[in-house]
Amino acid sequence: MNLNLNGKRVLVGGSTAGIGKAIAHAFAKEGAHVTLIARDKTKLESTKNELSNHNQDHHILVADYNNPEYLREIALEYCTQHQADILINNTGGPSPGQAHEALGTGYMTAFQQHLICNQYLAQAVIPNMKSKKYGRIINIISTSVRQPIPNLGISNTIRGAVASWSKTISNELGPFGITVNNILPGATMTGRLEGLIQSKSKSSGNSLDEVSKEMQSKIPVGRFAEPQEVADAVLFLASEKASYINGVNLPVDGGRLDCI
């Protein structure tokens, strides 16, 4: 299937590790110009040098999602010079813990890192997308927007807010040829998952291997996802083949969700 992504300019958040990095590599292989966004310049440069490059124009943006206003500033400046066709909103999730025990500062920080930063990046790319009558905004969220995950109280709450925001702007932007969709990864082999396994191991007293096997036993396909499998779903939603898919939450979870 020809996804027609060659020559497209894509901005990818959290793109030096895990799912974000896999997405960046996938777009580069399809011939897209990739702009990496993360806070560590050294890792950004290293990832950029790893990307497939056949006369492509890859860039980096150094920004910390803990500072939304600075992210907004550099994104607006960048997008006045480079016309973005696709935005992938992605950043690491909040620390685990029960919702009723979390401090308000934890909720506020997560809200800024996820919803506010997503909003600012979207505002930077939307004007050009409107002028072209074409654009894709894809948010990497979590299956928790369908089914809350135990001991991820802040994450469950904030991911739900992002999903509602996404659905709202999908309705607003659809008339301009811009689609907005969410990918809901399940348990995916990333540093984030490794951290959750370690946390569960510590709290339960079970070994890392026991915790891992117990988690995989709840997934119908019997294993964790690889980041590339999430990236493949993103590529499809970003392509012209998905032009009539708008405002959806697409689980990539091996069937783990109990709900439809």
Question: Quick one: pLDDT at residue 141?
Answer: 97
Half-sphere exposure (Cβ direction) of 147: Cα atoms closer than 13 Å: 11
197 belongs to a structural domain: no
Looking at the structure of the chain, the number of domains it has is 1
- What is the distance between the alpha carbons of residues 7 and 81, in angstroms, rounded to a whole number? 16
67 belongs to a structural domain: yes
Provide the residue type at 28 as one letter: A
Question: Quick one: pLDDT at residue 177?
Answer: 98
219 belongs to a structural domain: no
In degrees rounded to 5, what are phi and psi of residue 2? -85, 115
Q: Mapping DSSP to helix (H, G, I), strand (E, B) and coil, where does residue 89 land?
A: strand
4 belongs to a structural domain: no
Residue (of 50, 4, 46, 43) closest to 25 by Cα position: 50
Across residues 32-49, what is the average pLDDT? 98
CATH code for the domain of 95: 3.40.50.720
* Least confident window among 34-43, 164-173, 185-194: 185-194
Judged against a pLDDT cut of 90, whether residue 113 lies above it is answered with yes
201 belongs to a structural domain: no
216 belongs to a structural domain: no
The structure tokens 């907005």 sit at 180
Which residue range forms the structural domain that includes residue 125?
Answer: 9-187+226-252
CA-to-CA dists, residue 198 to 102, 171, 180, 202, angstroms: 20, 40, 34, 6
Note whether 244 and 176 are within 8 A (CB).
no
In degrees rounded to 5, what are phi and psi of residue 20? -60, -40
Express the helix, strand and coil content of the chain in percent, nearest 5 each: 50, 15, 35
Each residue's pLDDT tens digit, 88-108: 999 998 988 999 999 999 999
157 belongs to a structural domain: yes
- What is the distance between the alpha carbons of residues 95 and 196, in angstroms, rounded to a whole number? 9
Angle at 131 between CA 8 and CA 23, to 5 degrees: 25
Strand bridging mode 86-89 / 249-252? unpaired
Q: Mapping DSSP to helix (H, G, I), strand (E, B) and coil, where does residue 192 land?
A: helix
Judged against a pLDDT cut of 90, whether residue 192 lies above it is answered with no
193 belongs to a structural domain: no
Is the full-model pTM beyond 0.75?
A: yes
